[in-house]
């Protein structure tokens, strides 16, 4: 099933508003009246030796106004170990508002998201700030999310996340950079740990479509009190050793 989904996603033209980084959001929204499709594939590798999770998204984005866009997406998260496997489907609605203007080097944006699954409801708020200095872009995100579960589902229900992306335009279409991400987790108000990821990112864009790729390794961690006696240096209760993100898309004409 994982292979079938991968083939489908690779066959569908994709993209949302311009994506400057695979994980970190920027303030660059779609133009008013512009429609676009986006797909992403996110392998999460080695929470345990046999653990693999594949997060996928297929989204449609609409430029509502010059500084406002909406996005509707279908998220399918596949998880597999030697003993278990399953899929977690969700439908998400996301809105992004920005102060961005073409002649302003600094901008602030806000993002709100709600997601509904078979046994969970999640809300997320994100604050975005970015700064353009000639050919360099610096973006900072701070976000928090809260999930409500039912049907006997349990797990991490609260997350805080901070991310920093820095990229440099190598040409009019290609850019190279780095991202740093910090994610903290709680379950029923009990602290479950913090993980720090970093890695290189590549982007390629033109007026009609874009592609981005990032590869991240967990480089530091703060464990939950019950895990501090473990010899493993990573925080693996709600995180993995490695995360990849491949996203791509196609902007349709107005």
pLDDT digits (tens, 9 = 90+) for 187-246: 999 999 999 999 999 999 887 888 999 999 999 999 999 999 888 899 999 999 999 999
The boundaries of the domain holding residue 170 are 2-252
pLDDT digits (tens, 9 = 90+) for 67-111: 899 999 999 999 999 988 999 999 999 999 998 666 778 999 999
How many structural domains is the chain composed of? 1
Residue 7: φ, ψ to 5°: -65, -45
pTM: predicted TM-score of the whole model, two decimal places: 0.88
Exposure string (b/e) for 211-249, b if CB count within 10 Å is 16 or more?
bbebbbebeebebbeeeeeeeeebbbbbbbbbbbbbbbb
pLDDT digits (tens, 9 = 90+) for 17-40: 457 899 999 998 888 888 889 999
* Mean pLDDT over the full length of the chain: 89
CATH value at residue 202: 2.40.160.40
């Amino acid at each position: 099933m994982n292979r079938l989904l991968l083939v489908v996603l690779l066959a569908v033209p994709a993209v949302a508003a311009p994506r400057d980084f695979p994980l970190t959001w920027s303030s660059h929204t779609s133009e008013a009246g512009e429609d676009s499709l986006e797909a992403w594939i996110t392998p999460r590798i080695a929470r345990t030796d046999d653990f693999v999770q594949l997060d996928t998204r297929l989204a449609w984005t609409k430029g509502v106004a010059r500084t406002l866009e909406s996005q509707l997406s279908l998220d399918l998260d596949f998880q597999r170990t030697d003993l278990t496997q399953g899929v977690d489907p969700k439908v998400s609605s996301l809105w992004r508002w920005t102060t961005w203007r073409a002649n302003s080097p600094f901008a602030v944006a806000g993002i709100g998201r709600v997601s509904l699954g078979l046994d969970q409801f999640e809300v997320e708020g994100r604050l975005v700030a970015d700064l353009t200095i000639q050919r360099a872009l610096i973006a900072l995100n701070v976000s928090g999310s809260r999930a409500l579960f039912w049907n006997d589902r349990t797990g991490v229900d609260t997350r805080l996340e901070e991310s920093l992306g820095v990229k440099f335009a190598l040409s009019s279409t290609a850019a190279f950079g780095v991202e740093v991400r910090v994610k903290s987790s709680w379950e029923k108000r009990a602290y479950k740990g913090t993980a720090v990821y970093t890695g290189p990112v590549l982007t390629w864009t033109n007026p009609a479509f874009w592609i981005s790729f990032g590869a991240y390794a967990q480089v530091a961690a703060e464990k939950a009190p019950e895990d501090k006696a473990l010899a493993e240096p990573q925080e693996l209760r709600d995180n993995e050793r490695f995360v990849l993100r491949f996203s791509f898309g196609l902007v349709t004409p107005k």
